[in-house]
Amino acid sequence: MELAPCGKNACAYLVDQLFKINSAEGKSVQKHVDHMIKTFPNILIDIVNLVIKRATNNAREFSGHCQAAEANIQQLKPFFVLGWFLGRSPQVSNLIYNYFENSSFQPLPEETFQYVSTKQEEIAYAYPGFDDELVKNILITYFKYLSFNPRWFSVVWNWSELGRFVSLHPSKDINYLAACCLSIITRPSRHQHMMFLQDLIREPSQLIEQQLKHANIFKHKSRPLIETKPERASEFIKSMDGSETRSYEFCTESLTKVANSLLPKRDVSLESNHMKKTIEKTINRFIPVPSICDSLSRIAYAASINKPCLIRGPTGSGKTSILDYIAAHTNRSRPPDYIKVHVGDQLDSKSLVGSYVCTEIPGQFEWHAGPLTQAFAYGSWIVFEDIDLAPPEMAQVIHSVIENGNLSCVSCCPIKMDNPHPDFRIFFTQRTRSHNHIDSLRLGFGFVERLCDIVDMPELSDSDLKEILEKRYQFGPLKDTILEIFHSAQKSMMEANLARASRSLTLTDLFKFCERVSKNGIKMNDGKYASSDLDCILMDAID
């Protein structure tokens, strides 16, 4: 399905509404922004880009004629809004990282409050517009950012003020929320965290009250971009300003839909026509029969939230084909944008990550990046085929990438990145004996099953195979004869396999058989196909 382009006026209008809805107190942000994300996922990246552009322009404007305190208050608006966009897609998260990395904004500036009496029960905030309610909203949003990426946000923001809010602020609500933020940064054990809270709030009933009152902060979970209906978007705009429904297009050219999940597309406007035809051919050759729709949906979902995926199934079950189909929808069909690594004992970590090679100048070396490093740094999709054959030395490198998001375990690699490119995706395929018999991965690769979404390819029925043969090769009645001959040969080879070490026929052989039949142009004689001709073609295909 092709998505229609989105007009810039639609994005600008929605951003205007965001800044109107979002007051300095941060009230009503959750309801409206979350509704907007669900309603307009197709143009979310464009909306976030405009929010950041608006926030940057406002920061420059206020820095010229306002004090630092007032400028910081103005920057709280995008801080609240972007907190709800965080994690919706890797591209959105990367935009937010860049914004805060290049901004002087601090959620809780130093010396936010001071005591106004010796009893330490009354405080005064040093910044105009600050009050207890605003600070609570700041801490709740701060908690969301830290929960999403504690390592990054604890470095980019100064969190020393959290200690003052924990120990010196008279409000128990603020004490508890600040303590929760600190626990993410300092990473205590569960027991240590509870002991700290019990020392902070000594009355057990008050501690339980705080836990129940703020339980929702632990339930924040980002969802991937899922296509919505234009009718719903129109109704939402109408409800926001009471005006008549506007004739906006709610899709963007930078996204594509695969099984109801939205994935970012590469720009291929400068690519050759041959490249575009290859992508189109890959999409058309794959037939999404009903039995594999669930697998297709789950793999596309994993790609949309940037989670590694392990696809398991016997030879010829369509593990690689289904990845080729999804990748082609994002305009990826070959290196360097789409990389396949055939795993075997001869593959080592050096060939995977890269190494220094000699140049034409004697004594001079230059770094030659391997496929994993290229994909990690430049946002490619990489597929490790037959990960069950991987040598143990590869385990540490792959584990560092999918769990820690870096290549720190490889000391010789000159590319030091704390986070991979937002377009980077990693997939694994595992070859199994049958659909019901799945062996464990080699020693050291148990983390793959633990950290990846696991998708088991289903067994295709004869009706599925007939649909594929009909749509891909237009065989008509010939498809029944082909399947009969294939199943007969499959049974014969299975019986022979019991007597001697002979391989079994797989669906890969079936499709090779069909390719040759299609090229040879077998014709009917007296209303039947010559089975002897088809037998010869099958034997030629499997040799």
Which pLDDT band, with edges at 50, 70 and 90, does 378 fall under? Answer: confident
Q: Measured between alpha carbons, how far is 252 from 235 in angstroms, rounded to an integer?
A: 19
CA 449 centroid distance within chain: 17
Q: What is the mean pLDDT of residues 23-52?
A: 67
Mean pLDDT within 2-17: 60
Q: Answer yes or no: is pLDDT of 24 > 50.
A: no
Q: Which stretch, 125-129, 462-466, 523-527, 539-543, has highest mean pLDDT?
A: 462-466
pLDDT digits (tens, 9 = 90+) for 389-402: 888 888 888 888 88
Task: Give the tens place of pLDDT for each residue, 279-334.
Answer: 999 999 899 998 998 899 889 888 887 889 999 998 888 999 999 999 999 999 98
**pLDDT band for position 196 (cuts 50, 70, 90):** confident
Instruction: Answer whether 282's CB lies under 8 Å from 328's CB.
Output: yes
pLDDT tens digits along 319-348: 999 999 999 999 999 888 999 999 887 788
- Rounded CA gap, 471 and 464, in Å? 11
Residue 239: both structure tokens together = 């409800």
pLDDT digits (tens, 9 = 90+) for 434-451: 766 677 787 778 888 888
Token output for 343 = 């795993």
- pLDDT at residue 374 greater than cutoff 50: yes
pLDDT at residue 524, as a whole number: 54
- Determine the pLDDT at residue 286: 92
66-75, 98-107, 324-333, 508-517: least confident range: 66-75
Fold exhibited by the domain 260-456: Rossmann fold (3.40.50)
Instruction: Give 248-276 pLDDT, tens digit per residue.
Output: 344 455 678 888 777 888 877 777 788 88
Does residue 165 contact residue 135 with C-beta atoms inside 8 Å? Answer: yes
Task: Answer yes or no: are the C-beta atoms of 29 and 275 closer than 8 Å.
Answer: no
HEC readout, 150-167: HHHHHHHCCCCHHHHHHH
User: Tokens 């400028």, residue?
Assistant: 71
Tokens of 67: 């004090």
* Strand duo 381-385 + 338-342: pairing: parallel
The amino acid present at 453, given as its one-letter code, is D
Note if the bond before 336 is cis, omega within 30 degrees: yes
SS3 for 352-386 is HHEEEEECCCCCCEEEEECHHHHHHHHCCEEEEEC
Question: Both tokens of residue 489?
Answer: 């040969």
Structural tokens at position 499: 């007597």
Question: Is 346 in a helix, a strand, or coil?
Answer: coil
Structure tokens given for 512: 């090779």
Residue 147: strand, helix, or coil: helix
Q: Are 487 and 505 in contact (CB under 8 A)?
A: no
d(CA 313, CA 354): 30
Is residue 174 within 8 A of residue 165, CB to CB? The reply is yes
Write the DSSP string, 422-436.
TT-EEEEEEE-SSSS
H or E segment to which residue 82 belongs: helix 68-85
Average pLDDT taken over every residue of the chain: 78
The label of the residue with tokens 């339930």 reads 219
Each as own residue / partner, the long-range contacts of residues 227-235 (CB below 8 Å, 24 or more positions apart, any chain) are 227/41, 227/42, 227/257, 227/260, 227/261, 227/262, 228/38, 228/39, 228/40, 228/41, 228/42, 232/39, 233/39, 233/40
Contact 354, 310 (CB under 8 A): no
> Do 263 and 303 meet the contact criterion of CB atoms below 8 Å apart?
yes
Calculate helix-pair angle for 478-499, 531-542, nearest 10 degrees: 50
